Amino acid sequence: MSNTAIAESDNSELLALIDEHFREFKEGSIVNGTILDIRPQVVVVDIGYKSEGAIPVSEFEDEDIEVGDEVEVLLERLEDDEGLIVLSKEKAAHKQNWEKIMKVYEDGGLVKGKVKGAVKGGLMVNVGVEAFLPGSQVDIIPPRDLQEYVGNVYEFKIVKVNDDRKNLVLSRREVIEAERAELRQKFLQTVTVGDKVEGQVKNITDFGAFVDLQGMDGLLHITDMSWGRIAHPSEMLRIGQTLEVQILDVDRDKERVSLGLKQMTENPWEDIEARFPMGAEVTGKVTKLLPYGAFIEIERGVEGLVHVSELSWVKRITRPSDVLELDQEITAVVLGISTEEQKISLGVRQLEENPWAEIEARYPIGKEIKGEVRNLTAYGAFVGLEEGIDGMIHVSDLSWTRKINHPSEMLKKGDEVEAVVLSIDKENQRVSLGIKQLDSDPWSDIDSKFKVGDKVTGTVAKIASFGAFVSLDGDIDGLIHISQLSEEHVERVKDVLKVGDPVEARVIKVDKIERRIGLSIKAVSYSEDQLQKESQSFETLRPSSDLVGLEQAFNLATSNNESEEWSPSEEDE
């Protein structure tokens, strides 16, 4: 064989060996390589193939590498457009990690990963491969800010896998719940009523707070937070606060625990009556102002109520806030204690002498007084007797002879008046006064001043639908019934008379008991016989809205208002 033939044979064998070697490199396989060069943008790696591969330096950002280091890479392509092989360290790691993750998923185990960033609906986590953590699965309490989890490392449970897309869905919540369930069972097995435990406030509601006790949620009811009164748990607690509480009740079947905070201190109500006996003066701070009273904290956990009626003997206080302020320190007197209800009644006015205690001695019945009109109401006038004490003159006690519809007809605010003390109701703190009682009752001898048949003159004072009231001498009024205005039929009183008209009439009725004088215009020219008949006819009318005592009749009369008329009674028709 020639030398040429021998050389060709050797080359063929060499090429065959090289082809056989290179056929071991399959695309998609993980191979070992050696770092040949580290450049600014790429890392050159030799895997023993006929050409090297360039891997972006970013795939090594978390590692310290040197030339000569061995690395595992994924052979993506044996040759690109430039004849170079395409390698990836990240994809090699991803493929290896995915296989490990699938094994963990099948076994029901946990994976550890680092939160890389927040995205819409949750967080992205690196567990060797990129995975999604929904916001609802981050914690047992929905997080307010997902950013606070970024950069942290946690354990997760794999809840969903898409092998084709290489997608993972994680849950940290299930991990926490499993841990808490284990801790909860351990806690329930060992805890007993009366134990003192430490916990963290997890949630606050209107009725109390839930406290996390090593995986067990216990309820701290608002009534067990303080011996004193609190309106809302947030006044004492805040979420995340650590506190020591006492176990009040354990229901292992329902996995419920009741907690107490106030039980950690002595009950201040146990000997309350000994420390704050009836009549004792106490000092405290105003903690709450309500329409009906003010709460005063007289010691930690003990509050008393000053009712609005107990603030002053004489001042009419509508709301406690008119005279008190929050956090104001005041002195009060203990009026009553209910240990069972944990209530204390306090009074402020008891610190001063009750001006009503000796009211009869200062204002005996029959005493004449002077005072200023402080207020007018529909039923009377209030007159100041002394600071905080008023007497009332009822409208019926303003005049013996006139029917007063409203006290403003005789008085105005600020007037100084004289009156007589008529009665005293100390229990209800009332003093009744009268002005008319300053003079004798003119009706006591009325029959000596007015007799049937007398001719009188006067002025029309008021008009009603049933007649006209005439002012006579001596400040006495008489009534001219509509039937006594004229011999002719009168449809409306105001067609014949108006307020202020002078009138001449004859007296046809004097009733001392009913306090009424009946007058007649048409009887002015009557003879004695005619007058007697008219008087008898007048007597036959029943007392009614048409012919009544002046005190009743004036209730039906309009006060100088001719437009308002009253319907006549059946007797009038």
Answer whether residue 5 shows pLDDT above 90.
no
What is the predicted pLDDT for the residue at 299? 86
CA distance linking residue 548 with residue 514, whole number of Å: 8
CATH architecture of 191-264: Beta Barrel (2.40)
485: left (phi over 0), alpha (psi -120 to 50) or beta: alpha
Q: Which amino acid makes up residue 64?
A: D
Convert the pLDDT of each residue in 463-521 to its tens digit.
888 899 998 887 788 899 988 888 888 889 988 899 999 999 998 888 877 788 889 98
Query: Which whole number is the average pLDDT over 560-566?
Result: 36
Q: Per mean pLDDT, which range of 187-196, 449-458, 545-554 is the poorest?
A: 545-554
Answer whether residue 206 shows pLDDT above 60.
yes
What is the predicted pLDDT for the residue at 383? 92
Answer whether residue 143 shows pLDDT above 80.
yes
CA distance linking residue 242 with residue 230, whole number of Å: 20
Answer whether residue 422 shows pLDDT above 70.
yes
What is the average pLDDT value for the chain, to the nearest integer? 81
Q: Which CATH superfamily is domain 450-556 in?
A: Nucleic acid-binding proteins (2.40.50.140)
C-alpha distance from residue 506 to each of 185, 439, 446, 522 (Å) = 108, 27, 15, 8
Answer whether residue 411 shows pLDDT above 60.
yes
Convert the pLDDT of each residue in 61-71 to its tens digit.
777 878 888 88
Domain boundaries 359-438, CATH class:
mainly beta
In 237-296, alpha helices (H) = 272-275
Answer whether residue 567 shows pLDDT above 60.
no
- Contact in structure between 521 and 527 (CB atoms under 8 Å): no
Answer whether residue 557 shows pLDDT above 50.
no
Q: How many CB atoms lie within 10 A of CB 517?
A: 28
What is the predicted pLDDT for the residue at 559? 39
CA distance linking residue 156 with residue 122, whole number of Å: 14
Q: Percent of the chain, pLDDT > 90?
A: 19
CA distance linking residue 294 with residue 305, whole number of Å: 6
Pick the CATH number of 23-107 from 2.40.40.20, 2.40.50.140, 3.90.230.10, 3.40.605.10: 2.40.50.140
**Confidence band (pLDDT; 50, 70, 90) for 539?**
low
**Confidence band (pLDDT; 50, 70, 90) for 81?**
low
Q: Per mean pLDDT, which range of 20-34, 150-164, 234-248, 285-299 is the poorest?
A: 20-34
**Confidence band (pLDDT; 50, 70, 90) for 315?**
confident
Which helix (H) or strand (E) covers residue 430, if one does? strand 430-434
* Fold classified for 272-351: OB fold (Dihydrolipoamide Acetyltransferase, E2P) (2.40.50)
* CA dihedral of residues 72, 76, 78, 79 (deg, nearest 10): -120
CATH 2.40.50.140 domain extents, the chain = 23-107, 191-264, 272-351, 359-438, 450-556
Bridge partners, 124 (sequence order): 117, 132
- Contact in structure between 243 and 224 (CB atoms under 8 Å): no
What is the predicted pLDDT for the residue at 97? 73
Long-range contacts of residues 148-154, Cβ cutoff 8 Å, at least 24 apart:
149/115, 149/118, 149/123, 150/115, 150/116, 150/117, 150/118, 150/123, 151/114, 151/115, 152/114, 152/115, 153/112, 153/113, 153/114, 153/115, 154/112, 154/113, 154/115, 154/125
